[in-house]
Chain A
């Protein structure tokens, strides 16, 4: 079955998300859909799956014009999707989530044995380690992503749309997914694949459609004709720029944050490291290695059960995050902007000023709104947040601009220790380069940065030293010479040296 979009347009208040876009998807191909954030990819996927209706243009299924009123209509026509947002019910089991809209029953009651059996068929294709009877809420982020994919597969769709399916899964799982996608393609399924990771697109796609500012800049071009450079310049409208990170001199004696034999209630054992003034210390590991959990423990959000944490040479007992930010001047840029980083229904000003309200308040405890804007504006300007006004609701900004706002908050707070967790997940190339330069600058100004990332290239661009974490332990440290080949080999070496130790459960 094939799918075609003809001259599809869609406007939202203030923006034209799609402007006469076409897409031609054939049975038995993997078709990459690329573009920067805000280019219109997600809108296009939502149109195909019936979540929103186009203002004009046609959607053709095997040459027949269709109009889906809801995802249910699309599903019944064999169109299934994995969206960027999580769509699982946390308290339901994995199996129930996968088979939600057609649970097998016996005598009118749900047959849980059959649910688990049926679900397992799809899980085994991707990750046999996931228990079909487990509650989704007990899974790691990566495992939830796998469940989403299994759910889409289980509908036996003829057309499968995957929006950033690999954003949070491990390389191992990605490999399994790709193998499966190729098999589905050979069985005649038409697959749309959206990803920010160019390597993946080159590895798996047959043809490619590129969007920029809601318009086609490439439409079904064969992948063989595409190079990395041409693709990037198609996407951003000019050649790619390499991040310019200034050289830093780190004084090894100025230790700001030090862990000595730390263990936590989350399952970390014997964590020892030192973070210095003006240094970017990388914390690399696969998804589920326990890196974000360590960040949360340091910030007082989980208990430290053994060892010692020193801040500026003094043993520190951090009671909670409030304590960490006010008493110890620590800031945390979360990997999950929408859940943990921002208050989407509030304005930019409020989101940034939240860390400094207490400082801005005058003698009788009131905040002057003009003083507040004055305090916030320089950071918004410096971070180049694209917005008509400071009063704009953060929920209306693009992902990249949201990330800038969540960093601005800590710059405003003048944090001396900054834990930055996956700063560029789901962020487009232009903004990514910009954020890298920004993180470099913040370190140059003297902040001590603990950088958590699973993006090897990002790590090697930014970090001075890289700690490698695996299974909730530190398994090695690599001095970064900024050479991709040697450094990445050293890091991977440490991870494989430990073998396939199963990581402790996340959460």
Chain B
């Protein structure tokens, strides 16, 4: 096997190359690309996306899906905004509460999936609709605008090209990496995703695995919602409405197995970066933003094809 082929088998290698080439090309054709401000804007826009992608990655790890990431994120953002604007909660109280709401939503998804044995796709499709309903019921689709200055500042400030906002997903990425490679519960999630029957007969509790994956997913969706509020400076009921496609695209491009049992935190991170780069490049090149959707779709297909090729070539098809 040549070095090139072996590199191709490392799942994030292709992404790293694509990112490097893309950045190189952009810096040549668009002189604005390498400016501090442009890089800051691009990285800031990635922050929420990273957490959204991680939220889906966790459920993909156990071989399930969470269609409700966006709906839960939207609901959390609204409750977060409401507790601040209407009840005057300090951030130190409002943020943990928002995360708890996300975890609770995940708990509902997880318990329904584990106890009924119904496919998580259907369960979360239903709860997504329910969460969105509550969201619009509370707000009448009117955003909460009065966010604390410190939160808005956190969403705005940056050190050179590095937005403060990006710190949160990077810490989360580190913790998730540790969780899935080193922690017993993380390993158990992947073992279950790899072969549910074998994992169960090895003494892994099915209910615990399914519930914890969904709780973690909900928690990450809530974290993404809080970041989105900080970034926008207001709690919009439409937060989360456009998360679903990205949430699948990034982990899959990053090398996650759709059947479960295998995910890559680094791959997902690179995939989000690549998608951000493409979006940024298209803005700089003044391409119609609707084409971004098309490119995203094409990329997912290419990534799934590459994953399949990899599976066949590593002998575990």
Contacts and interface: CB of A to CB of B under 8 A. Distances in A.
Nearest to B187: A357
B310 to A, nearest CB: 12
Contacts of B194: 343-346
Nearest to A361: B184
Interface in B119-159: none
Given A321-B203, A355-B202, A344 B182 contact: no
Nearest to A327: B203
Interface string B183-225: 1110110110011011111111110100000000000000000
Contacts of A332: 201
Interface in A297-329: 299, 301, 320-322, 324-326
Contacts of B183: 361, 365-367
A366 B174 CA distance: 13
Contacts, number: 96
A344 B316 contact: yes
Contacts of B315: 12-13, 393, 395-396
Given A366-B178, A395-B316, A341 B201 contact: yes
A358 B205 contact: no
A324 B182 contact: no
Nearest to A343: B194
Scoring A322, A325, A393 by chain B CB atoms within 10 A of each residue's CB, the highest score goes to: A322
B287 to A, nearest CB: 39
Contacts of B313: 13
B262 interface: yes
Pairs A-B, 7 closest by C-beta atoms:
A325-B203, A343-B194, A357-B184, A322-B205, A395-B316, A343-B195, A366-B182
B1 interface: yes
Contacts of B182: 366-369
A350 interface: yes
Nearest to A365: B183
B187 A354 contact: yes
Interface string A334-360: 100001111111100010011101101
Nearest to B316: A395
A409 interface: yes
A358 B184 contact: yes
A395 B311 CA distance: 11
Contact of B187 (A325, A334, A342, A350): A350
A345 B197 CA distance: 14
B262 A360 contact: no
A292 to B, nearest CB: 12
B184 A340 contact: no
Nearest to B192: A343
Given A361-B183, A365-B184, A345 B202 contact: no
Interface string B157-195: 000000000000000000000100111110110110011
18 contacts: A12-B315, A13-B313, A321-B201, A334-B198, A334-B201, A340-B197, A340-B198, A344-B316, A346-B194, A350-B187, A355-B202, A357-B188, A365-B183, A365-B184, A368-B182, A369-B182, A395-B316, A396-B316
Contact of B191 (A301, A326, A343, A393): A343
A301 B314 CA distance: 34
A413 B201 CA distance: 13
Given A342-B195, A358-B184, 9 more contacts: A320-B205, A321-B200, A322-B208, A343-B261, A345-B194, A366-B182, A366-B183, A395-B316, A396-B315
Given A357-B187, A366-B183, A393-B314, A345 B262 contact: yes
A345 B262 CA distance: 8
B257 interface: yes
Interface in A407-462: 409, 413
A360 B200 contact: no
B199 A343 contact: yes
B184 A360 contact: yes
A353 B199 CA distance: 11
Nearest to A410: B202
Contacts of A346: 190-191, 194, 261
Contacts of A322: 200, 203-206, 208
Interface in A168-210: none
A354 B199 contact: yes
A361 B205 CA distance: 17
Interface string B250-287: 00000001000110000000000000000000000000
A504 B281 CA distance: 66
A365 B186 CA distance: 10
